[in-house]
A and B are shown apart, each in its own frame.
Chain A
């Protein structure tokens, strides 16, 4: 293996193996703190509001939303794409970095994957509700039915979307769970209380860390990792084809798949950073999630932000260069100027300009500023989806069909509800699941000790 001494240790404080177990599992044994319970309470209220809104949507109909004939896709689709984007981080993080053998992923991947699973769940809610008659949702499955049998249209991006999201939810949840099996076994053997031993023992499914188990575990990790890497790229590409296959101005472009995938990774990584900063601060895990981890994520964000900026400029340039008057109208008179100016510039500044501040080391090492930037990125990414969904639909070819769009209280409540689900899920994760992959961190820690030892000696590898 290639060893470098320039980069310094991944985990600080010369931890022993036992210490790592104690450090990471201690929040699980501690009594819940006030802020945790308060957070749970607030997020439950948000969920309650969300469930009410979902009830209204289902029992009364989509008419309770602000969408109309012209702007048929409103907040539901904006938020769907937004959540799916956030949900890309976990897999992008753990899988791309697993395949690239980036050891620093070990402290972060668990939380990123947890976030992914919750976010994809939130995302899946929106298209389901947007179907209108959710009790007929199973029509999208190709099953031998009594209507012919009439099979579904395999050429439709909406069908691709459905299977892509389902597959993504399944694979990210199983990858996440697989990684947790050894850690559940650790808690089973480490915890004192009978209840914990029982519950985590059940979840650990009899794991003991034997050779046969580890071998198959690693094999399966690489299988799932390899195919999920394909999925990370394809899920958001497929989401983008929902737009790109249509003939709306501003949507019908070949740049969409990469543009969406990069945007998804961008917002996902920003969310990872938000969460990590909170996590290391609250649970004092700075030895595991070090400043260097933060800097690495910041550097990725700078790079991805550059790609985002390039994508925005490419879109604008091509609108002008194509000479297509509808494209020119959409970009120059409906986004950069016009009714949606504010939303466009929030998107542009938050995604393409503010992250560039992280070029400065002073800013990159200031955790508070990083936290603010990471939140601004997700605000910007929300407005990006707003720009894409609303501006193109509101004013397309026929001025007589132009309409505007504003969300109703029910729509906003559904969104607040999913935020509640997300916060609720993340809080449960903080309390009941080891936030850092214990076994992986141990392996990384060991590698460092070896590295330190071999200093001065001739390198064996």
Chain B
């Protein structure tokens, strides 16, 4: 089961933005936009959400608690050792380990989350719609089944697309 897409390729960021605004205005659903660098207006207005920063905060919060609990369990409950008469629950000096291990855990957990959510892992191959989308072109992707093709193509032409093509893929975008 494949899907058919319409691609509008733009050479300039300005024309991409013009097309993006126009398509939005005309209520034509944009499936995705491929860019060689992040254009923030597109990122903000396409309606995709990323909760990774919020998730990252929770990773930090819970790993800090977990690390502190681990330190407390091992150093105070399981096998309290007397280090020069200092208290077993040496909370202030546990903080160093807690901070660093929290950072360690946030890194690992958010990397995995990123990998899963953004669909990026070694060897993963996603359909590449246009070879120059990572080089010098911006590509707007429309799902052919969901949009009024003629109107969309007209808008793309008006806004200065250097290339408009259709593409079939085996996978969903």
B152 within 8 A of partner (CB): no
List B112-154 residues whose CB lies under 8 Å from chain A.
114-115, 117-126, 128-129, 131-137
Cβ–Cβ < 8 Å partners of A223 in chain B: 52-53, 56, 106, 110
Could you tell me if B120 and A150 are in contact, using CB atoms closer than 8 angstroms?
Answer: no
Residue of B nearest to A210 (CB): B32
Could you tell me if B121 and A220 are in contact, using CB atoms closer than 8 angstroms?
Answer: no
B72 to chain A: closest CB distance in Å? 10
| Given contacts A155-B86, A238-B96, A212 and B107 within 8 Å (CB-CB) | no
A407 within 8 A of partner (CB): no
Q: Which single member of B43, B100, B104, B136 contacts A18 (CB below 8 Å)? A: B136
Cβ–Cβ < 8 Å partners of A182 in chain B: 36-37, 134
Could you tell me if B78 and A149 are in contact, using CB atoms closer than 8 angstroms?
Answer: yes
B94 within 8 A of partner (CB): yes
A217 within 8 A of partner (CB): yes
A17 within 8 A of partner (CB): yes
A167 vs B96: C-alpha distance in the bound complex, in angstroms?
13
A34 vs B43: C-alpha distance in the bound complex, in angstroms?
45
Residue of B nearest to A202 (CB): B123
Residue of B nearest to A449 (CB): B13
Q: Which single member of A150, A170, A234 contacts B108 (CB below 8 Å)? A: A170
Residue of B nearest to A222 (CB): B53
Cβ–Cβ < 8 Å partners of A220 in chain B: 52, 56, 110-111, 114
A264 vs B132: C-alpha distance in the bound complex, in angstroms?
41
Cβ–Cβ < 8 Å partners of A163 in chain B: 97, 100-101, 104
B2 within 8 A of partner (CB): no
B34 to chain A: closest CB distance in Å? 5
Could you tell me if B118 and A217 are in contact, using CB atoms closer than 8 angstroms?
Answer: yes
Could you tell me if B43 and A214 are in contact, using CB atoms closer than 8 angstroms?
Answer: yes
Contact mask B62-77 → A, CB, 8 Å, 1/0?
0000000011001100
A151 vs B88: C-alpha distance in the bound complex, in angstroms?
12
Cβ–Cβ < 8 Å partners of A230 in chain B: 99, 103
Could you tell me if A446 and B13 are in contact, using CB atoms closer than 8 angstroms?
Answer: yes
Q: Indicate the size class of the contact surface on chain B.
A: 35 or more
A208 within 8 A of partner (CB): yes
Could you tell me if A151 and B79 are in contact, using CB atoms closer than 8 angstroms?
Answer: yes
Contact mask A277-295 → B, CB, 8 Å, 1/0?
0000000000000000000
Could you tell me if A153 and B43 are in contact, using CB atoms closer than 8 angstroms?
Answer: no
| Given contacts A186-B134, A207-B120, A231-B103, A216 and B37 within 8 Å (CB-CB) | no
A24 vs B155: C-alpha distance in the bound complex, in angstroms?
35
A205 vs B93: C-alpha distance in the bound complex, in angstroms?
41
A338 within 8 A of partner (CB): no
Contact mask A67-98 → B, CB, 8 Å, 1/0?
00000000000000000000000000000000
Cβ–Cβ < 8 Å partners of B90 in chain A: 154-155
- 3 tightest Cβ-Cβ pairs between the two chains A and B: A206-B124, A17-B136, A18-B136
Beyond the given A154-B97, A155-B93, could you list 19 further A-B residue pairs with CB under 8 A, ordered by the A residue number?
A21-B36, A149-B78, A153-B81, A154-B93, A155-B83, A171-B107, A178-B114, A189-B131, A209-B34, A209-B134, A212-B117, A212-B118, A216-B117, A219-B50, A220-B56, A223-B56, A224-B110, A442-B36, A446-B37
Please, could you name 25 A-B residue pairs with CB atoms under 8 Å apart, sorted by A?
A17-B36, A17-B135, A17-B137, A21-B135, A151-B74, A154-B75, A155-B90, A167-B101, A167-B103, A170-B104, A170-B107, A174-B111, A189-B128, A205-B115, A205-B123, A208-B134, A210-B33, A210-B173, A211-B43, A214-B35, A214-B38, A216-B118, A217-B118, A227-B103, A238-B100
